[in-house]
Chain A
Amino acid sequence: MLVESSTVSREAFEQGTGWQLKPEGACKGDVCIPLNPVPGDTIDVADLAGRMGLPLAKDDAHGLWALGPESIGGRALTTAEAPDLRLPDLDGREFRLSSLRGRKVLIYAWAPY
């Protein structure tokens, strides 16, 4: 998740990281990281990243940070519940993986290099 200021909205944090902030902690699928309640609609990125164990890479010269994925389970997948992948097509229209619920889906990753 790319960040250009020290704070982001709660919605942006949840969408960018895939972790939902609930009373019991930060949750993804059936996994929750226990946290003290996170009040309000504004998230201090560095603070919450530290509490959740999410890495933060910085490029101060360009005022840009990137919040990396979790590693709490020691594997790329924390849960087998598929994340709601959101990506654009060639025309810039956003596709959401959840729109294909009810079908078997094969996601195929390729590259033009």
Chain B
Amino acid sequence: MWQALREALHPQGFELVTVGLDALGDEGCRPFIEAARPSHPSLIDAHHVMADLFGVVNIPQSVWIDEQGMIVRPAEVAPAPPDVPREPPQAPPGEVPERFQQIMAEAAKIRQDAEAYHAALRDWVARGSDSVYALPPDEVIARSQPRNADVALGHAHFELACELERRGHHDAAIGHFREAHRLVPESWTFRRQAWSLERPVDGPLARFWQGPDPSAPQDWPYEGDWLADIRAEGAENYYERWQP
């Protein structure tokens, strides 16, 4: 979907750079990138530097940067293009576990303003700094995620956790992931990354289970899980409302 958009806008001086955030690195991202066969830069971010550098707190999010290397829109939710036909979600083969049914029901309640976002993107690509959607530097900074000393420390714990995971110290990583979650509660990405590394179930959707094994809930090492957290926060609040 994004590949088609990139091809359409590339002649106007536009480039798309995709960044896969995953502590498992290319092992986690490779199947998706190879299936997409992108013609644009497609990168691997094993330590979530996108969070440190740009304040990414959920996925998918985008950052817009102009020809002079200035950020004109900070990290914000980036819905898929609305004008590309999409296949309805496919149920996995066999019986769908109850948890997945509940996840899909919550996911269906998530709202994104794809039309407005993509109209703004096309306007910026066509008009550059004359576009009202290209924000001035002060506004870009003011709209980026809040970050106090605790949040910054949470980022450090998260980077440490990702590296420990990569080195095979899974149990040690959990403590730092938990600290990151405590210090940066607004980051869904920090939570989803950690949850995805637990494998209560097998199979191709294991990383989307994002919660405890129903037969051994006491083994789940985190306070929250995707289903519990989205119900607590409200699916309608999963993405911040897009601001023009």
Whether the Cβ atoms of A57 and B160 lie closer than 8 Å is yes
Q: Give the number of residues in B that approach A within 8 Å (Cβ atoms).
A: 89
Report chain A residues within 8 Å CB of B61: 108-109
B19 touches A77 (CB 8 A): no
Shortest B177–chain A CB gap in Å is 12
Contact A97 B17 (CB under 8 A): yes
Of all chain B residues, which has the CB nearest A84?
Answer: B69
Contact flag A59-B172 (CB < 8 Å), given A66-B156, A80-B141, A109-B56 = yes
Binary interface encoding of chain A residues 91-113 relative to chain B, with 1 for a CB under 8 A from any of its CBs, else 0: 00001011011111111111111
B44 x A71 contact (CB < 8 A): no
Across-interface contacts of B151 in A (CB, < 8 A)? 71
A112 touches B28 (CB 8 A): yes
Question: Which residues between 170 and 208 of chain B lie within 8 Å of chain A, taking CB atoms?
Answer: 172, 176, 179, 189, 192-193, 195-196, 207-208
Q: Which of A58-97 contact B (CB under 8 A)?
A: 58-59, 61-62, 64-71, 73-83, 85, 87-90, 95, 97
Contact A81:B149 (CB < 8 A) given known A95-B41, A105-B64, A111-B20: no
Q: What is the bound-complex CA distance between A80 and B129, given in angstroms? A: 14
Given contacts A75-B145, A106-B14, A112-B207, contact A87 B43 (CB under 8 A): yes
Cα-based distance from A82 to B167 in the complex (angstroms): 30
Shortest Cβ distance from residue A60 to the other chain B in the assembled complex, whole angstroms: 11
CA distance A56 to B152 in the complex (A): 9
| Per-position 1/0 for B59-70, Cβ under 8 A of A | 111111111111
- The residue on B at minimum CB distance from A78 is B141
Residue contact B44 to A90, C-beta cutoff 8 Å = yes
B220 interface contact, C-beta 8 A: no
Q: Which chain A residues lie closer than 8 Å to B64 at the CB level? A: 104-106
* Chain B CB within 8 A of A54 CB: yes
- With known contacts A57-B156, A57-B157, A95-B41, A104–B141 Cβ distance under 8 A: no
Complex Cα–Cα for A103 and B142 (A)? 24
Which of A65, A71, A80, A95 is B137 in contact with, Cβ under 8 Å?
A80
Q: Which of A53, A56, A89 contacts B42 (CB 8 A)?
A: A89
- Chain A proximity of B132: nearest CB distance (Å): 16
Whether the pair A81, B54 counts as a contact (CB closer than 8 A) is no
A59 to B156, CA, bound (A): 11
Other-chain contact of A68, B56, B125, B152 (Cβ < 8 Å)? B152
Give the residue name and chain of the B residue nearest to A86 (CB): B49
* A/B interface sample: 30 pairs, CB < 8 A: A55-B152, A56-B156, A66-B159, A67-B156, A68-B159, A71-B148, A75-B141, A76-B74, A77-B140, A80-B137, A82-B70, A83-B53, A85-B49, A88-B43, A89-B42, A100-B41, A104-B13, A106-B63, A106-B121, A107-B18, A107-B19, A107-B54, A108-B18, A109-B45, A109-B59, A109-B62, A109-B63, A109-B189, A112-B32, A113-B195
A75-B147, A113-B192, A113-B208 are known; give 10 further A-B pairs, CB within 8 A.
A57-B179, A64-B164, A71-B149, A76-B75, A87-B19, A101-B69, A104-B15, A104-B128, A113-B193, A113-B210
